[in-house]
Structure 1
Amino acid sequence: MANLPIVNQLAHIHHKQPWLVMNAEQKFSLAGANNETISHFYTFEASDSREAPFAIPDGCIDVLFDCNSSRPNAEVFGTPLEAINIELTAHNRYFGIRFKSGVMPDFLNVSASELIDNHYNLLDLIPNANQLVEEVSNSNSFHHQVDLFNQFMIEKLQRQHTCTTTQIIQNICQNQGNIKIKDLEDLTGYSIRTLQRKFQSDMGMSPKTYSRIIRCQSAVYQINHGEKVTFSDLAYDLGFTDQPHFLREFKRLVKATPLNYQHRVKHASYLSKIQYL
């Protein structure tokens, strides 16, 4: 994917927060990133919908700026393990950065496990980031906001995982989360206990939990982009024991049944809202 044009890279994003897109008043704009740790940038204006949007498990860390010039604010979100409500202010504009799945920025003064199912004020994790928060929040240009954050990221590092964890992440993503721990043992040559210890230390979760997240994201991606999705086939392709198991898991992680979610995506004109810049 590294050699694809940026627009094509954006079209192939597999780590999605669809309820944010559907909560956008009009367009949900995406921009690519040259920094190898960042998946993409995004911006949208929150609608006045009475229904609060959800964040779903994606295995990613997001930084979300509330671009209210009178009360500039930014929060860091770790991945939830199940769908959770998030609070957005109607008609406020938001600017977000989604780091690639598995990336833990080293400039955040928090552990990977502390970020799971949690969020923090950016200034609590980076006390000297006041200028960044104010400049990004006061800018009306998406491109300028992207440039500001790119400048901030110069010489910033990500925490280095063990080679084993990196190998496991790549393999789980390549298999859309449909992989057994025994397969990872064969892949790495390590015991289950060693794999879990290394992965937990780096990612703040177990390989099984991460696989569950990626499998959920794979189902969301297929429903978003597939023309004719048969849920029984999708359940089989992703390795669920049966369709009822898939339905229960999807509802727990996405806060809707696959059929209801599919209807919501179509009703909200999900794909037409997304604008690649």
Structure 2
Amino acid sequence: MLNRAVASRLEKIRSKQPWLVLSAAQNFSLASSSNPVISHFYSFETSLLAQETKAIPDGCIDIIFDCDASSPKAEVFGTPMAAINVELECHHRYFGVRFASSIIPNCLKVSAEELIEHHFSLEDVIPNADQLLEEVAGQTDFAIQVAVFQKFFENKEARQLSMLTQAVVRFIFDQQGNIRIDKLAALTGYSTRTIQRQFHADMGMSPKAFSRIIRCQSAVYAINHRHQVTFSDMAFELGFSDQPHFLKEFKTLVSTTPKSYQRCVKQQAYLDKIQCF
């Protein structure tokens, strides 16, 4: 099992992409960030079976560098709305930056709506990013790659959200995604139409869609970190009308059943891959 220090660091990471961990040939390295805009950094070399892995909804933007010596590249990924295939090259080294959920870096020259369920070449959305790609891909040391990206990002900020959207995001997080639009209206004092319009302008999706993502990630997080999980209790806790509804939603967003997912992430082979720095 993971030692206590590693487990504590993992518990601070609220966004989970378990299929990326499974795609690693050996170690899946993780490092936290002192910048609250960035959730964490990660690095892994893919296995032969990783050509098509899955990404699940997490409300995050990732920048993923393919550090292949002959043809390095980097792409910016917006959050998917359901589990999707992600194509990875076998035996390539990857370095990733995951921004905190709901955060959009201001340096990205693309709208929030365009990012949803899409990915872009790094050079197309961050002007003059060639040097960053060269410096990150040219390193084999994970800690140096982290330092290179942090230096690049040190004078950059998150895109400013409206005060209303910030409040709505906070309420959605507090309730683990289990909150209705009429409740958000009562809490903020704004009409449902105003909330939906402003939230979509800032985030590129509706409050309902974002709540669905956070509810999914809340279930995934609980399965990863709780010693005992009863799925009927989890369905009730997250506001599902019944357990079958929860099971169907989980399979759509995570690409497997909660029971199968639990078996997967509790296996020692999965836990042994994760290394925190």
Equivalent residue number for residue 190 of structure 1? 190
SS of 1:247's equivalent in the other structure is helix
How many Å separate the matches in 2 of 1:264 and 1:151? Answer: 36
Specify every segment of 5 or more residues in structure 1 that has no aligned partner in the other structure, as ranges.
none
Distance 1:193 1:122, change over 3 A: same
CA contact (8 A) 1:7 1:32 kept: no
Q: How many residues align?
A: 273
**Could you give the per-residue CA deviations for residues 102-150 of structure 1, whole angstroms, max 9, x where no partner exists?**
1111111100000000000101112311111011001011111011101
Is 1:56 equivalent to 2:56 in the alignment?
yes
Equivalent residue number for residue 166 of structure 2? 166
How many Å separate the matches in 2 of 1:100 and 1:228? Answer: 27
Equivalent residue number for residue 37 of structure 1? 37
Is 1:241 equivalent to 2:241 in the alignment?
yes
Amino acid at match of 1:32: S
Amino acid at match of 2:77: F
**Could you give the per-residue CA deviations for residues 156-198 of structure 1, whole angstroms, max 9, x where no partner exists?**
1211000111111111111111111111111110010000001
Specify every segment of 5 or more residues in structure 2 that has no aligned partner in the other structure, as ranges.
none
Distance 1:262 1:229, change over 3 A: same
Equivalent residue number for residue 200 of structure 1? 200
**Could you give the per-residue CA deviations for residues 28-83 of structure 1, whole angstroms, max 9, x where no partner exists?**
11111111210111111111116721000000000000011211100000000000
SS of 1:53's equivalent in the other structure is strand
How many Å separate the matches in 1 of 2:51 and 2:62? Answer: 22
Higher mean C-alpha deviation, range 265-274 or range 57-66 = 265-274
- TM-superposed CA distance for 1:225, in Å, is 1.6
CA contact (8 A) 1:22 1:265 kept: no
CA RMSD of aligned residues (A): 1.6
CA contact (8 A) 1:40 1:99 kept: yes
Equivalent residue number for residue 137 of structure 1? 137
How many Å separate the matches in 2 of 1:62 and 1:264? Answer: 23
TM-score (norm 2): 0.95
Equivalent residue number for residue 47 of structure 1? 47
How many Å separate the matches in 1 of 2:171 and 2:18? Answer: 24
Equivalent residue number for residue 79 of structure 2? 79
CA contact (8 A) 1:10 1:40 kept: no
CA contact (8 A) 2:23 2:50 kept: no
How many Å separate the matches in 1 of 2:23 and 2:268? Answer: 9
Higher mean C-alpha deviation, range 15-24 or range 49-58 = 49-58
SS of 1:109's equivalent in the other structure is coil
